Structure formats: structure tokens, C-alpha cells
């Protein structure tokens, strides 16, 4: 296992279309996070899972966004009826069950461009 | 709600000198503070962290200082090397929730 894997790396879509991103965390990492990053900004928290349970959702996550982690392993982030403002880098991260440092292991991100 | 702030978008230093990156936070519930480094086209990678019960943590050339009363932390890199040129994000966590600053772009000139 070489790290957090995200797919696709790049997605270009037309406004109004639906898109789905997939994240495969590091094996045995029970926590999985989704962040969004726009140019010149730090990663903005969207949501996180502990195993299959979605424990927190940001107010940034509108009704058009939904995330799942059905079996506590990989996760998907779906954006429905995309808008130009959704253009961003979507980052997935995972962390192990041990508490304390809070270190996250990030994937390389999925860049979304909405035309 | 910007709970973690990095007020300097960029910093340029000469190779061999000290780089000091600063970060302020507002939420007193944060119990861990971290610095991440990001190169273009890559996700952020963890650099160093500090627990809220400590005021200093050192790892090689990197030292993080925490001033809880001022809600301020800083990252010192000494000596700075050209390979340190990247965007540095400050982050703070409380339980499973981690928030990031906007980042500081460090450029180390040879």
C-alpha cells in the first residue's frame, strides 16, 4: 500500500452535470476526510468518516454534495448539478486509529473544472 | 469561519538563514497543531506537530513553538535550504476535526 489514492486526478465537466470522485485510503486507516482547496487557500474541511459512519459535515457541503463510505474502506464524493464555483481541488486524507498527533495522510487530489 | 490564520502569503529567505513561519488560531479547543508542506501537483505532507501541552517540539532543522496564551504558533527552519521551497500550511485539530490556514509560500534563494 503506497498511500492514499484518488481517482480521477482531473475531471472537466459542463455545468449541471454530476461528478463522482473516489478515494482509497491507506489500509487500516479508520478515519477518512474530504477537503476542498481553491487557489491561494488552504484545504477547507468538507466531511469526515470514522469507519463507515459520517461523523461531521461542514456547512460548505451543500445538498448537492454527498459523501459515502459504505464498507468503511473506500469513499466516494458526489457533486450533483455542478456549478462553476465547484471548480477546485478535492483532497482526500486518511488517518490511523491511534489518537494523538492528528496527522493526516493526503492523496494527490482530484482537480475539478466546471465549464 | 477562519479559525486558523496565516497572515503572510509569502516569505523569501537566503539559503542558510532562518525561516520563520507564523500562524494564529482562535479556537481554544484545539489540542494538536501541525505543519504541512505542499509541493505543486502533490497533496500536503505532514512535517511536524505539537501537542497543546507542550511549548516546543524539535525535529532536525524544524522546530515548532506554541504560545497558548497568545494562540500563536511558529515554525522555524534553520538552516533553510532551497529544497525547503514550498507552501507551508498550519493546521489545528480538535478530536477528528482539522482546520488549515491559507498557507505561506516559502522561497529559499541559493
pLDDT digit string, tens, across residues B55-67: 999 999 999 999 9
Quick check: A5 contacting B, CB < 8 Å? no
How distant is the Cα of B17 from the closest Cα of chain A, in angstroms?
26
Query: Averaged over A71-85, what is the pLDDT?
Result: 95
* H helices present in A1-115, as ranges: none
CA distance B63 to chain A (A): 16
Whether residues B43 and A33 touch (CB distance < 8 A) is answered with no
Q: Do A50 and B96 touch (CB under 8 A)?
A: yes
CB of B25 within 8 A of CB of B71?
Answer: yes
Q: Are strands A31-37 and A88-95 parallel, antiparallel or unpaired?
A: antiparallel
Burial of A5 (0-12, 13-18, 19+ CB in 10 A): middle
pLDDT band for position B17 (50/70/90)? very high
* Percent residues over pLDDT 90 in chain B: 88
Q: What is residue A43's predicted lDDT score, i.e. its pLDDT?
A: 93
Stated as kind and residue range, the H or E segment containing A97 is: none
Mean pLDDT to the nearest integer, A50-64: 88
- What pLDDT shows up at residue A97? 77
Nearest CB partner across the interface for A109, out of B9, B43, B93: B43
SS3 track for B54-109? CCEEEECCEEEEEECCCCEEEEEECCCCHHHCEEEEEEEEECCEEEECCCEEEEEE
Amino acid at each position: 500500500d503506497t498511500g492514499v489514492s484518488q481517482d480521477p486526478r482531473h475531471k472537466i465537466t459542463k455545468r449541471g452535470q454530476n461528478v463522482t470522485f473516489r478515494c482509497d485510503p491507506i489500509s487500516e486507516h479508520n478515519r477518512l476526510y474530504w477537503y476542498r482547496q481553491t487557489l491561494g487557500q488552504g484545504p477547507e474541511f468538507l466531511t469526515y468518516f470514522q469507519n463507515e459512519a459520517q461523523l461531521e459535515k461542514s456547512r460548505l457541503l451543500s445538498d448537492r454534495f454527498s459523501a459515502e463510505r459504505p464498507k468503511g474502506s473506500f469513499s466516494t464524493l458526489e457533486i450533483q448539478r455542478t456549478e462553476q464555483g465547484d471548480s477546485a481541488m478535492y483532497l482526500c486524507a486518511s488517518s490511523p486509529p491511534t489518537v494523538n498527533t492528528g496527522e493526516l495522510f493526503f492523496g494527490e487530489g482530484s482537480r475539478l473544472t466546471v465549464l | 469561519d477562519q479559525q486558523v490564520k496565516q497572515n503572510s502569503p509569502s516569505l523569501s529567505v537566503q539559503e542558510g538563514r532562518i525561516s520563520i513561519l507564523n500562524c494564529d488560531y482562535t479556537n481554544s479547543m484545539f489540542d494538536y497543531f501541525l505543519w504541512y508542506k505542499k509541493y505543486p501537483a502533490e497533496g500536503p505532507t505532514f512535517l511536524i506537530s505539537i501537542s497543546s501541552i507542550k511549548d516546543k517540539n524539535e525535529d532536525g532543522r524544524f522546530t515548532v513553538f506554541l504560545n497558548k496564551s497568545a494562540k500563536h504558533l511558529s515554525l522555524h527552519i534553520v538552516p533553510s535550504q532551497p529544497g525547503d521551497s514550498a507552501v507551508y500550511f498550519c493546521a489545528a485539530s480538535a478530536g477528528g476535526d482539522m482546520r488549515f490556514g491559507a498557507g505561506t509560500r516559502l522561497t529559499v534563494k541559493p
